[in-house]
Amino acid sequence: MASNVLLQAPFMVPRAPKTLAFSAAVSRHPSAAALISTSCSRKLSLPKLSKSRSFVVRAEANAEVEVEDSAEAEVTQIVVASEEKSPRKPRIKLGDIMGILNKKAIEAADTERPTPDLRTGDVVEIKLSENKRRLSVYKGIVMSKQNAGIHTTIRIRRIIAGVGVEIVFPVYSPNIKEIKVLQHRKVRRARLYYLRDKLPRLSTFK
Amino acid sequence: MAASNSSRLFKAGRSILGGLSNNSVGASRPSYDMTCMDFVSQQQRAFIQMRTNLKVVDNSGAKRVMCIQALKGRKGARLGDTIIASVKEANMGGKVKKGEVHYAVVVRAAMQRARCDGSEVQFDDNAVVLINKQGEPIGTRVFGPVPHELRRKKHIKILSLAEHMA
């Protein structure tokens, strides 16, 4: 008798999601163990989250829910037919994890503040917020760009009050309120360390 | 000054190597030597330690100063640290004379100093401001830019005297 109730339960699920309460009441009536009713109600409660959409519940340990248009339930076990799913997700290998995490972090940072495409030789202006009050402005030429995922940094050089100053900024930092490219200087190098030995005039920007 | 010296060495080395390569046949050798030289002359900025010469950027009268003790840090002083320095060169009629020993705070360092938001700051030269034992500057003006690190170290007077804050 218990098996009969169990057999009825999967068929009840896809056909009439609206009459869930009724079927739950029906299943409680027989004097079978409360275990069955709880299992039935558990299976029935999951589809309630769908809001009038037929579900097929995968009877695995973690009990994931898959959205399916056509309900297909086997007798002994409720299994999701994997052939009906759209292309199988490729397995995530160990070596890809950092790349994926970095990409996600960059996307999250991009939604807050769009970052322009920066190249060596750009003269940029960076607005940094320190101490939540002042907005300090840093101008200068991009000497180098080190690509490291979320910790991509650019090195800005400028002559301030007669002294050359180089500052390394992490591009995707939340402290940076704005990055603006003012102009671009044609350079034939990826890193402009030669500017340290040249005349200060080449590193001065109004 | 040190930067231009090291790069001049590099340029001199390159010309010598260029001469050698003209005589020798192998074309691969110059590139190998170039990478070795590159690594050596790639500016390894270091701490400020005993015998380091520093520039003085206030109007206390001193011009050049030699560090005789870095007060904090086993390897040496960095940006924002205090040192004990001996005056090596001084202006006539200034507040300090040659040979005097004073405390000084490093306001510009060629070695990069990391900040808590992930950025780093470095200057082109090493410079100090002379202070007394209590931390007040001896001079009345400070030239050149000073970093924000001085705020954490409670050198507010120097920050207020500065021309520009980096």
Rounded to two decimals, the ipTM of the complex is 0.73
The confidence score (pLDDT) of residue A138 equals 94
The confidence score (pLDDT) of residue A40 equals 42
The confidence score (pLDDT) of residue A22 equals 44
**Interface touch B143/A161, C-beta < 8 Å:** yes
Listed in sequence order, the residues at least 6 apart from A75 whose beta carbon sits closer than 8 Å to its beta carbon are A7, A10
**pLDDT means over runs of 10, chain B (166 residues):** 45 43 45 49 80 94 95 92 95 92 95 93 95 93 93 92 88
The confidence score (pLDDT) of residue B129 equals 96
- Which chain A residues are within 8 Å of B163, Cβ to Cβ? 161
Residues composing chain A: 206
Distance of CA A139 to the CA centre of its chain: 32
What is the SS3 assignment for A3?
helix
Among candidates B38, B160, B166, which has minimal Cα distance to A164? B166
The confidence score (pLDDT) of residue B150 equals 92
CA–CA separation, B103 and B72 (whole Å): 13
Q: What is the pLDDT of residues A51-89, one digit of tens each?
A: 444 444 444 444 444 444 544 445 555 555 445 566 788
Task: Among B5, B38, B56, B119, pick the best mutation site for testing chain A contact (most A Cβ within 10 A).
Answer: B119
CA–CA separation, A138 and A156 (whole Å): 8
- Which chain B residues are within 8 Å of A151, Cβ to Cβ? 118
> What is this structure's pTM?
0.65
Among candidates A105, A81, A77, A100, which has minimal Cα distance to A90? A100
The confidence score (pLDDT) of residue A30 equals 47
Mean of per-residue pLDDT scores for chain A? 73
Q: What is the pLDDT of residues A25-53, one digit of tens each?
A: 444 444 444 444 444 444 444 444 444 44
Beta strands in chain B (DSSP E): 53-56, 62-70, 82-90, 101-108, 113-114, 120-123, 127-131, 145-146, 164-165
In terms of Cβ atoms closer than 10 Å to its own Cβ (0-12, 13-18, 19+), residue B28 is exposed
Name the pLDDT band for A206 (thresholds 50, 70, 90): confident
> Does residue A163 surpass a pLDDT of 80?
yes
The confidence score (pLDDT) of residue B42 equals 62
Name the pLDDT band for A132 (thresholds 50, 70, 90): confident
What is the residue whose two structure tokens read 């924002």?
A: B80
What is the SS3 assignment for B4?
helix
Closest partner residue to A163 among B3, B120, B144, by Cβ? B144
Q: Which amino acid makes up residue B157?
A: K
B163–A contact, CB cutoff 8 A = yes
CA–CA separation, B130 and B67 (whole Å): 12
